[in-house]
Structure 1
Amino acid sequence: MRELQIGRVYRHFKGDYYLVEGVANDSETGAPFVIYRKLYGDGGLWLRPLEMFLSKVDQEKYPDCPQEYRFELQEIPSKAGH
């Protein structure tokens, strides 16, 4: 399984960008969930199972999707040169 990077920006396969805020565990099952923030609109917080966040795009359902994974880490260079 791929490793999640906290504090980094990911692109959803449908095109929007999200900032991963952290990981929380379900109080009943202990299952890990990714907490992430929309980088558009109201900047709302969202929650998704870690396994689903890191999963591959369903190519049968989305055959024209060029992205391999549901969310892909983005390398964003610093404008200030850091």
Structure 2
Amino acid sequence: MTEPAAASPPEPGVYEHYKGARYEVLLVARHSETEEEFVVYRQLYGDHGAWVRPLAMFVETVEVEGRAVPRFRRMESTA
């Protein structure tokens, strides 16, 4: 793993995981005591329960076949 791909929190919308699955980011939440930020998102198929991931982990890059790629990338809107 390498450094974060983005300094700002992701906006609500559809994101693709580097392995191909797609997710909908619902919001960014802040822990009431530690103030750590978390991304709340859900899978676009199957289990539609909400998932939570630390913001730093959501925006980081990962190494795939020797190159750095974002763990999640925002999909272009079709609207």
Instruction: State the TM-score, normalizing by the size of structure 2.
Output: 0.78
Q: Larger strand proportion, structure 1 or 2?
A: 2
Identical pairs, percent: 42
Instruction: State the TM-score, normalizing by the size of structure 1.
Output: 0.76
RMSD of Structure 2 on Structure 1 (CA): 2.1
Partner of 2:28, secondary structure, is strand
Q: Which runs of no fewer than 5 residues in structure 1 stay unpaired?
A: none
Larger Rg, first or second structure (1 or 2): 1
- Segments ≥4 residues shifted beyond 4 Å: none
Q: Which runs of no fewer than 5 residues in structure 2 stay unpaired?
A: none
| Count of residues in Structure 1 that have an aligned counterpart in Structure 2 | 74
Structure showing greater relative contact order (alpha-carbon pairs closer than 8 Å, 6 or more residues apart): 2
Q: Is the 8 A contact 2:15 2:75 kept in 1?
A: yes
Q: Is the 8 A contact 1:13 1:65 kept in 2?
A: no
